[in-house]
A and B are shown apart, each in its own frame.
Chain A
Amino acid sequence: MKLFVVTATNLRDGAIRWLGAGNIWQPLLANAQPFDAAGIVPALAFGAAEISAQRVIGVYQVEVRRAPDGLDPLSTRERIRAFGPTVHPEFSYAPATSGLGV
């Protein structure tokens, strides 16, 4: 079964956000709520409403898989968004103990 999460960019500071449980935007992918193909539809609708409310921009879905350390995006681009630029480990978004990264 394919798994998805919803991501966006925070309007005020441009930081990456992930839609978590209870429709709360989270800064870390680790706290994102995974959805199946059916569940992602209302989640994206919520994201569209958040755009209208001027809280976030650029809402879209990202396909992920479950890895031993947590959710892991399939594409390199989204892994870099989720875990930080690979050339600055000090800016990593993932916990230091996590094996996730690009």
Chain B
Amino acid sequence: MDTATQIRTPSAAAEAGIYHYDALDHAFITRRVEAFREQVQRRLSGALSEDEFKPLRLMNGLYLQLHAYMLRVAIPYGVLSAIQMRKLAHVARKYDRDYGHFTTRQNIQFNWIKLEQAPDILAELAEVDIHAIQTSGNCIRNVSTDQFAGAAADELVDPRVYAEILRQWSTDHPEFLFLPRKFKIAIIGSPQDRAAIKLHDIGILTKRNAAGEPGFTIYVGGGLGRTPVIGSKIRDWLPVGDLLRYMEAVLRVYNAAGRRDNIYKARIKILVRETGAERFAELVEQEFANLSGDRFHLPAEVVAAIQSRFGAPDFADLPAVSPAYQKALAENADFARWVSTNTHPHRVPGYISAVISLKPIGGIPGDATSAQIDRIADLAEQYSFGELRIAHEQNVVLAHVRQDALFSLWRELEAPGIATPNVGLITDIIACPGLDYCDLANARSIPIAQSISERFGDLDRQHDIGELHVNISGCINACAHHHVGHIGILGVDKHGAEAYQITLGGTADENAALGQLLGAAVAADEVPDVIEGVIRVYLAVRLPGELFIDSFRRVGLAPFKQEFRDGQR
């Protein structure tokens, strides 16, 4: 099947911001649900062994964790409708323990799933165009992007259309379902990288050339985990028409040359590092040349057709500044504080993007109850054209809110407990499920996040500290991206006990950097005190208005290390 037919040309009108499935999409995921139902039946009857069944369940997002099966549901590039959000709440209520966990790859996980009910869950999700395909396994995973895509004031190109094209291309791609290892792609359309593209197997920066045409810069070989690597640029400019051809070339080189003999050396980052980025780029270009012709060309009309299925929100013609909004800001300090952290500038005059924090003080990062999920869906319909995004920081975004309605939205967030004004601050902690749930973890993450959140919960204090990203992973697999946290915390097993290594100075943005180790691992109850020491040094050295990461870059690790050593004595 060539690319032009593999990517279906849509026809139906779309609602705002949501890509809508056509009959082929529906038929595909319905077939997958029924195939999985049959596989589950064969497993329960004993016709399939666990070894035979495991890769089948993983390809449908079903893991086996410490306490139960866990279902990871794909939210393509983090965008979903209010209707889809309500279905997630329904799954949490009917099949789980009344909550879901939003992940660092813009998906949602349900932690208490029964195998025998998994096909029914997938069938219910398919009713609203949601599935769990390729949320696990050695295949191309959910493509992630900027949570403000299509809304951000600084955006040059809306990356969602290309994320959707990549989703269609990679879903059930016969050549890339059994790669040496899992494969993650992120795409951004703004110069400010909010999708951590340099930390993905392929990172795509969408931009425009001098003629205003969209195109891409390609990075490969980024990744965290056991061997953290910042991705290397291998193509500065790739025309839109060549996107899939180039993706095919990168994946083919990796599929052929990536190691399959050692799981720890199987990711593309190891291949790129061992080959050398320059040589790897040459290999890709050779493969790219071999793929010439129409088969892998991405026609402009297909791009336009996909774009049309997203449907633009029906923005009102508003003044750039709303007097009502300005008045509310001036009269209500709590609202102004929430706005200062939980909003992002919109490209359309009179609109703003609102971030709903799923990080209440002392709470579990990324968890939301079914009631909260339902309420957020209601608010999306009321305030943001019925569309939501899941941020990789484990928060929820209402992307298109009228400025003159923002005060009203803010007041409605209080009752369901989702009004915490802490986005980007020290209590907006990114954390994996850790040893409380995860079969791979060495240590717990969530209780550490809770203890830091409680220690720094005072709003005046955390706003005074300013922007500071804390990432906590329960093992070296780095699901919470601890290597790139301003403060990174890694749970390790130290002689049978949980202990935590702390790094400083990591960043996941366009200046991506890996954190530097502060010192030896400390016990769980020491972590808040160590973080306290880090903050003490920062507040002592910072210049007026200087953010933590900028102070760290200016003064280096030494003063923080000295404080740590003094604290350990």
Q: Evaluate contact between A54 and B115: CB separation under 8 angstroms.
A: no
Which of B45, B66, B68 interacts with A80 by CB under 8 Å? B66
The verdict on A16 contacting chain B, using a C-beta distance below 8 Å, is yes
Q: Evaluate contact between B68 and A13: CB separation under 8 angstroms.
A: yes
Q: Please, which residues of chain A bring their CB within 8 A of the CB of B116?
A: 12-13
The verdict on A22 contacting chain B, using a C-beta distance below 8 Å, is no
Provide the A52-64 mask, 1 if CB < 8 A to any CB of B, else 0: 0110011000000
Instruction: Tell me the bound Cα distance from A75 to B68 in angstroms.
Output: 19
Q: Please, which residues of chain B bring their CB within 8 A of the CB of A42?
A: none
Q: Please, which residues of chain A bring their CB within 8 A of the CB of B447?
A: 86-87
Instruction: Tell me the bound Cα distance from A57 to B435 in angstroms.
Output: 20
Q: Evaluate contact between B66 and A81: CB separation under 8 angstroms.
A: yes
Q: Evaluate contact between B115 and A14: CB separation under 8 angstroms.
A: yes
The verdict on B46 contacting chain A, using a C-beta distance below 8 Å, is yes
Instruction: Tell me the bound Cα distance from A77 to B438 in angstroms.
Output: 10
The verdict on A84 contacting chain B, using a C-beta distance below 8 Å, is yes
Q: Please, which residues of chain B bring their CB within 8 A of the CB of A24?
A: none
The verdict on B113 contacting chain A, using a C-beta distance below 8 Å, is yes
Q: Please, which residues of chain A bring their CB within 8 A of the CB of B496?
A: 74-76
Instruction: Tell me the bound Cα distance from A54 to B49 in angstroms.
Output: 8
Q: Please, which residues of chain A bring their CB within 8 A of the CB of B50?
A: 51, 57
Q: Please, which residues of chain B bring their CB within 8 A of the CB of A15?
A: 67-68
**Would you give the shortest CB distance from B113 to chain A, in whole angstroms?**
7
Q: Please, which residues of chain B bring their CB within 8 A of the CB of A9?
A: 64
The verdict on B446 contacting chain A, using a C-beta distance below 8 Å, is yes
Q: Please, which residues of chain A bring their CB within 8 A of the CB of B65?
A: 14
Provide the B427-465 mask, 1 if CB < 8 A to any CB of A, else 0: 000000001110000011011001000000000000000
Q: Please, which residues of chain A bring their CB within 8 A of the CB of B497?
A: 76
**Would you give the shortest CB distance from B95 to chain A, in whole angstroms?**
11
Q: A58-B64, A77-B435, A87-B436 are in contact. List 16 more A-B contacts (CB 8 A).
A: A14-B64, A14-B113, A15-B68, A57-B64, A76-B443, A76-B497, A76-B498, A80-B435, A80-B436, A80-B444, A86-B436, A86-B446, A86-B447, A87-B447, A88-B436, A91-B67
The verdict on A85 contacting chain B, using a C-beta distance below 8 Å, is yes
In the complex, 7 of the A-B residue pairs with CB atoms within 8 angstroms, ordered by the A residue number, are: A13-B114, A13-B116, A14-B65, A77-B435, A80-B435, A85-B436, A87-B450
Instruction: Tell me the bound Cα distance from A16 to B69 in angstroms.
Output: 11
**Would you give the shortest CB distance from A91 to chain B, in whole angstroms?**
7
Provide the B28-54 mask, 1 if CB < 8 A to any CB of A, else 0: 000000000000000111100010000
Q: Please, which residues of chain B bring their CB within 8 A of the CB of A87?
A: 364, 436, 444, 446-447, 450
The verdict on A49 contacting chain B, using a C-beta distance below 8 Å, is no
The verdict on A45 contacting chain B, using a C-beta distance below 8 Å, is no
Q: Evaluate contact between B115 and A16: CB separation under 8 angstroms.
A: no
Q: Please, which residues of chain A bring their CB within 8 A of the CB of B64?
A: 9, 14, 57-58
Q: Please, which residues of chain B bring their CB within 8 A of the CB of A77?
A: 66, 435
Q: Please, which residues of chain B bring their CB within 8 A of the CB of A76?
A: 435, 443-444, 496-498
Which of B44, B46, B97, B443 interacts with A91 by CB under 8 Å? B97
**A residues at B contact (CB < 8 Å):** 9, 11-16, 51, 53-54, 57-58, 74-77, 80-81, 84-88, 91
**Would you give the shortest CB distance from A30 to chain B, in whole angstroms?**
17
The total of Cβ contacts below 8 Å across the A-B interface reads 69
Q: Please, which residues of chain A bring their CB within 8 A of the CB of B43?
A: 11, 54
Instruction: Tell me the bound Cα distance from A27 to B46 in angstroms.
Output: 23
Instruction: Tell me the bound Cα distance from A81 to B450 in angstroms.
Output: 21
Q: Evaluate contact between A54 and B44: CB separation under 8 angstroms.
A: yes
**Would you give the shortest CB distance from B300 to chain A, in whole angstroms?**
48
**Would you give the shortest CB distance from B71 to chain A, in whole angstroms?**
11
**Would you give the shortest CB distance from A47 to chain B, in whole angstroms?**
13
**Would you give the shortest CB distance from A56 to chain B, in whole angstroms?**
10
Q: Please, which residues of chain B bring their CB within 8 A of the CB of A80?
A: 66, 435-436, 444
Instruction: Tell me the bound Cα distance from A53 to B50 in angstroms.
Output: 12
**Would you give the shortest CB distance from A80 to chain B, in whole angstroms?**
6
**Would you give the shortest CB distance from A32 to chain B, in whole angstroms?**
16
Instruction: Tell me the bound Cα distance from A13 to B115 in angstroms.
Output: 5
Which of A11, A57, A58, A81 interacts with B67 by CB under 8 Å? A81
Instruction: Tell me the bound Cα distance from A77 to B45 in angstroms.
Output: 31
Instruction: Tell me the bound Cα distance from A84 to B50 in angstroms.
Output: 25
- Which of A13, A81, A85 has the most chain B CB atoms closer than 10 A to its own CB? A85
Q: Please, which residues of chain A bring their CB within 8 A of the CB of B46?
A: 53-54
**Would you give the shortest CB distance from B469 to chain A, in whole angstroms?**
21
Instruction: Tell me the bound Cα distance from A91 to B98 in angstroms.
Output: 12
Q: List which B107-153 residues lie within 8 A (CB) of chain A.
A: 113-116
**Would you give the shortest CB distance from A2 to chain B, in whole angstroms?**
15
The 4 closest A-B pairs by CB, nearest first: A14-B68, A13-B114, A14-B69, A85-B436
Q: Evaluate contact between B114 and A14: CB separation under 8 angstroms.
A: yes
**Would you give the shortest CB distance from B207 to chain A, in whole angstroms?**
42
Q: Please, which residues of chain B bring their CB within 8 A of the CB of A16?
A: 66-67
Q: Please, which residues of chain B bring their CB within 8 A of the CB of A57?
A: 50, 64
Instruction: Tell me the bound Cα distance from A9 to B69 in angstroms.
Output: 10
Nearest residue in B to A79 (C-beta to C-beta)? Answer: B435
Q: Evaluate contact between B115 and A11: CB separation under 8 angstroms.
A: yes
Q: Evaluate contact between B115 and A85: CB separation under 8 angstroms.
A: no
Instruction: Tell me the bound Cα distance from A59 to B443 in angstroms.
Output: 22
A14-B67, A14-B68, A75-B496 known; A85-B437 Cβ under 8 A: yes
Q: Please, which residues of chain B bring their CB within 8 A of the CB of A75?
A: 496
**Would you give the shortest CB distance from A54 to chain B, in whole angstroms?**
4
Q: Evaluate contact between B115 and A12: CB separation under 8 angstroms.
A: yes
Nearest residue in B to A90 (C-beta to C-beta)? Answer: B97
Instruction: Tell me the bound Cα distance from A88 to B498 in angstroms.
Output: 19
Nearest residue in B to A78 (C-beta to C-beta)? Answer: B66
Instruction: Tell me the bound Cα distance from A57 to B436 in angstroms.
Output: 20
- Which of B64, B436, B437 has the most chain A CB atoms closer than 10 A to its own CB? B436
Instruction: Tell me the bound Cα distance from A40 to B67 in angstroms.
Output: 23
Which of B97, B114, B435 interacts with A12 by CB under 8 Å? B114
Nearest residue in A to B111 (C-beta to C-beta)? Answer: A85
- Which of A16, A57, A58, A91 has the most chain B CB atoms closer than 10 A to its own CB? A57
Nearest residue in B to A58 (C-beta to C-beta)? Answer: B64
**Would you give the shortest CB distance from A86 to chain B, in whole angstroms?**
6
**Would you give the shortest CB distance from B364 to chain A, in whole angstroms?**
6
